[in-house]
Amino acid sequence: MATAIKPETVKARQPTIPATEPRPHPQRRPLGPLKTVHVFWLAGMSCDGCTVSVAGATNPGIEGLLLGTVPTMPKVLLHHTVLSVEYGEEFIQPMKDAWEGKLEDPYVIVIEGSIADERIAARTGGYFSAMGSQVTEGADESSPVPTATWISRLAPGAAATIAIGTCATWGGIPSAAGNPTGSMSLMDFLGKEYRSAFGLPVINIPGCAPQGDNFTETVFAVLLFLQGLGPLPSFDELGRPSWLFTESVHAGCTRAGYYEEGIFAKNYGDPECLIEIGCWGPVVNCNIVKRGAINHMGGCMDVGGICIGCTMPGFPDKFSPFYKEPPGGIISTTMSRGVGMVIRRARRLSNRHVGTEVRWDKLKAVPSGWGNVRTATLSLKFVELFYKKWQFWGAKEPGRPKGTEKKFWGGDRPGTKNDYLDDSSTIEDTRDRH
């Protein structure tokens, strides 16, 4: 008979769990000398499209830098006119400290937008773009501090100076012909002799807007260098990350195959090559089609848009007017049509050649119930005769050696017949016999 257990006994047997505070999560420390890096994001003549693009970066994402959770990476303190929660004097103070040498940690400046010639606006007492305000000597009221002034103050002491977007890298749309601002790129503004405190010239990541992952990947590589944990990344003669901007758009375009076959789109929405309706892809350095726009999806040509050269120093003037065939396009497309006519026909023959089983060729029939597959034409047989000789020139053909087929198929045994390789047999004959 079971004995009843008193509730007091059960309670006494239960282990006592001490009430403790939650353990603090150990903070991951970088392996290099830099624990924290300030990033001052300065906005010039821009539309903030670069900010939107970088905020959408995923591989690597910007969150890992801001939270300090990426191994070997310092924690990044981002001072951004849109993303920062500080405002007013509280927002401007770290920039003042960096300028005056009072900031304890190193800093990087990122410039979005072109730099206007503030001397033009100053003639009438105005400005083109500014951040914060200050009281100048001899003045009673504060006045805005132009972005160009902040760049002049912060660039000499920066660990690295990065221009993001075509406006900052090459001048972009604000510097187009006829503009009243005298806008220029960061490289034009600082000059050829400029070097950061760590000895780096201006780093350029172009695009309108740039691919966000191009920016974050470059920043990660530069921070590894600043940490002493990696070599200086490879940049080309214009300060672009060479591993991202070496190849042309056309080299990675999903429509490039149509170009070599001489097939071109006539209207937007057509799947063929877009050169004849204004695409500059063959002469533009960009990886947008390979990498995608955001989250590795999209990209101009992938979604039906043409390349207007927005990553190039000559944009926009040298690519205008948009949506019109480039001047040299008619030469390349005409030549491509001539060569492509031959290539297309040769490839169709090759496609038909490799599109049938060897067994079907021998039996001269295809057992497909989906449709009637045409037998080889005289032209295809003629091509196959020379193609096969060329294909196996100096090499061994697959399969059994000639003259030994019956040995391996059982044809030499009594009561067997080698129907499989008999050219006179049909599929029906083979099915009946086996």
Task: For residue 42, give every residue at least 6 positions away whose Cβ sits within 8 Å of its Cβ, in sequence order, or none.
Answer: 109, 110, 111, 112, 131, 147, 150, 151, 154
CA distance 420 to 408: 12
pLDDT tens across the length of the chain (434 residues): 445 555 555 455 555 545 555 555 555 555 678 888 999 999 999 999 999 999 989 888 888 878 877 778 888 899 998 888 888 889 999 999 999 999 989 999 999 999 999 999 999 989 999 998 887 766 677 889 999 999 999 999 999 999 999 999 999 999 999 999 999 999 999 999 999 999 999 999 999 999 999 999 999 999 888 888 889 999 999 999 999 999 999 999 999 999 989 999 999 999 999 999 999 999 999 999 999 888 888 889 999 999 999 999 999 999 999 988 888 888 888 888 888 888 888 888 788 888 888 888 888 888 888 888 877 777 777 777 777 778 788 888 777 777 776 666 555 544 444 444 444 455 455 555 54
Quote the pTM value. 0.78
Phi-psi region at 424: left, alpha or beta (left = phi > 0; alpha = psi -120 to 50)? alpha
Task: For residue 302, give every residue at least 6 positions away whose Cβ sits within 8 Å of its Cβ, in sequence order, or none.
Answer: 254, 289, 292
Angle at 377 between CA 376 and CA 381, to 5 degrees: 75
The maximal CA–CA distance of the chain, rounded, in angstroms, is: 117
Q: Which amino acid appears at position 188 of this protein?
A: D
Domains of the chain: 36-134+143-241 (3.40.50.700), 247-355 (4.10.480.10), 357-434 (no CATH)
